Structure 1
Amino acid sequence: MNIYIYTKSGHNVGLDSVRRGAVLYNQFKNYNPILCTSDYRAATFSRTLDVYRGVGIDIIGNLPNLMKRGDILIFDSDEPNETMRKFMNQYCTKLYEFGIDISRTLVSDKFFNKGNKSIRKAFFFGDDDYQNILLDKLCKDQYQLDIDLLMGHYFFLGNDEKLISHFSNVIDEEEYFDTIINTQYLLASSINAVFESCASGNSPVFYIREDKKHENLDLIKKYNIPIIEGDSMQEILKKFNIVIKNYPKIQPFKKVDTSNILDTVIDIMEKNKLLSPSLESNY
């Protein structure tokens, strides 16, 4: 019996679900879980999140090619329809879904440490920008802005050199963790990054991207995190500066309690350990 964690990812999706899935992966690390991503690049990236069993499988429908009946599945994806969900329930010993069984506010424990606030303002557009919206639209005809930019994992090669003229500083994606915990005011289009910022005791602002559905805006509003929109970096930064001058009091951000799921899954895995040798002996 194995534990599988499936996270939707890709150059037009981003890595939010991979980051959440990696948190659960590490909570189950003693049971050698397998983190499945939509693309192989995300599976490779997950190693930076201490994931050592990661594989890209393209779509969630390919999971039966890896799994065996009776395995445990935790997934973070909008791909399954009702027919697929019914099959998954019958196929798996236990089935859990992010957004229903597990909150999408789940972030790594390492973010629950206060940074040094060495960066006053930074912008994280997200890990993906397949349509090149940031460079070709938001930064078009814009002068250099008084805010740092944290690069996304899927940004086109060479965009960092083109974007440097529009921002105070362009920060490499490898500095993601340090940037999130050390930025006092983070402007982000990533719900995951916003909650990581909250966990670090900072003051995030959420930017609504025109190319995203943002189905989890209710979570942002629940914590009273400011939300802004804008069609150019100049407009966005102007609104951002107004917000941070009178930043509102947000709701206290606490760790997501996954103990019930952990206890249930671990109990199943331990019982399976005892059962497996007996079955092999009888065979």
Structure 2
Amino acid sequence: MRTFYYVHTGHRIGLDRFRRAAAILNSLQDEDITLLTSDYRIAQVARDFGIEKSVGIDVVRNIPQISHNGDKLIFDSEEANPLMLEDMREYFSAFVRISDDENDTKSPKEFLISPYLKGEGICNCVAVDDGFFGDFEKSVELTYFFGDDDYEKDLEKHFDFIEDLKPNLQLGFYYFLDYEDMLKEKFADHFEFEEYDVMIKSTKILLTASPQAVLDSLAAGGKPIYFQREDYTRTFVPYFEKMNVPVIENYDKNQLLVIIETIENRKYEQIEQNSNKIAHFIKESLNL
């Protein structure tokens, strides 16, 4: 009987779920868990994130091709419809689902990790790697992280949103090489994909469309600003509002300038260090 952890990733999806998985798996290093990703490229570099076993499976429907009936699964994706989810709950002997939807409901045949829901069989928390919690010197005033994906090159299309702010740029994993080279020319300085952790710890103000980056920045003592991409889910907006993280929509430049000018007066809520809580919940739920 084996344990798997599936995350939806890709050049139109980004890596937020993968980064969350890395944080959770780092708290479960004493367990034998294989990470399944929906693209092969990120699976090939998963070891750089401390993940020993990873396999790219292309699409969610391929999970049964590598697993067996009675295995255990942690599932982090919005791809599955209700029927597919019910089939998974029957196929696996234990099933943990991660959901960011405040309107979601827990099935009797699953365990749930959620920033919104509470109750029996639910772990109410968000996942952030322990390494981001600490007191770090903020040597970079402002960094712009559009996300790990930008297939439509929207960052370039909306460059005027941040141009005169002169931020550092955090490069994403799925950027095309020629696009990446062009972006480097537009910014005075940048962080490579591999320097994400350094960026999070050293950046004072992080302007980002990545929900996980917002959480990581909060843990590291930064002052994140979340802007809602049109192609990204809105599920984290209520949670960010609860944490007093400013949220920007429609590339509202005037709103951004006001937020930056007054950010020293903003009282962010403190994020909890939940790694032990999540690890205990998963071990208990999956009987590991």
Does TM, normalized by the shorter one, top 0.5?
yes
SS at the partner of 1:97? strand
Measure the CA separation in 2 of the matches of 1:121 and 1:142. 10
- Name which one, 1 or 2, has greater alpha-carbon Rg: 1
Using the TM superposition, give the Cα deviation of residue 127 of structure 1 relative to its aligned residue in structure 2, in angstroms.
Answer: 0.1
Measure the CA separation in 2 of the matches of 1:143 and 1:88. 47
Using the TM superposition, give the Cα deviation of residue 230 of structure 1 relative to its aligned residue in structure 2, in angstroms.
Answer: 4.1
Using the TM superposition, give the Cα deviation of residue 215 of structure 1 relative to its aligned residue in structure 2, in angstroms.
Answer: 2.4
Letter in 1 for 2:271: F
| Aligned counterpart, 1:150 | 170
Using the TM superposition, give the Cα deviation of residue 91 of structure 1 relative to its aligned residue in structure 2, in angstroms.
Answer: 1.3
Deviations 1:56-88 (Å, cap 9, x if unpaired)?
Answer: 111221111111111110011011111111111
Change (3 A) 1:245 1:142: closer
Using the TM superposition, give the Cα deviation of residue 187 of structure 1 relative to its aligned residue in structure 2, in angstroms.
Answer: 0.4
| Aligned counterpart, 2:262 | 246
Using the TM superposition, give the Cα deviation of residue 210 of structure 1 relative to its aligned residue in structure 2, in angstroms.
Answer: 2.0
Whether the 8 Å CA contact 2:9–2:18 is kept in 1: the answer is: yes
Measure the CA separation in 1 of the matches of 2:228 and 2:182. 23
SS at the partner of 1:204? strand
Letter in 2 for 1:160: E
Whether the 8 Å CA contact 1:127–1:152 is kept in 2: the answer is: yes
| Aligned counterpart, 1:48 | 48
Whether the 8 Å CA contact 1:163–1:170 is kept in 2: the answer is: no
Out of 118, 122, 137, the position equivalent to 2:139 is: 118
> Which structure is higher in helix share?
1
Using the TM superposition, give the Cα deviation of residue 46 of structure 1 relative to its aligned residue in structure 2, in angstroms.
Answer: 1.9
Whether the 8 Å CA contact 1:127–1:155 is kept in 2: the answer is: yes
Using the TM superposition, give the Cα deviation of residue 54 of structure 1 relative to its aligned residue in structure 2, in angstroms.
Answer: 0.5
Measure the CA separation in 1 of the matches of 2:9 and 2:96. 18
Q: How many residues align?
A: 263
Report the TM-score when normalising by structure 1.
Answer: 0.86
| Aligned counterpart, 2:20 | 20
Structure 1 outlier segments of 4+, above 4 Å: 140-145
SS at the partner of 1:19? helix
Using the TM superposition, give the Cα deviation of residue 22 of structure 1 relative to its aligned residue in structure 2, in angstroms.
Answer: 1.6
Measure the CA separation in 1 of the matches of 2:88 and 2:262. 48
* Unaligned segments of structure 2, at least 5 residues: 100-105, 107-111, 116-125
Using the TM superposition, give the Cα deviation of residue 24 of structure 1 relative to its aligned residue in structure 2, in angstroms.
Answer: 2.3
Using the TM superposition, give the Cα deviation of residue 96 of structure 1 relative to its aligned residue in structure 2, in angstroms.
Answer: 0.8
Task: Output the aligned Cα RMSD.
Answer: 2.0
Letter in 2 for 1:251: E
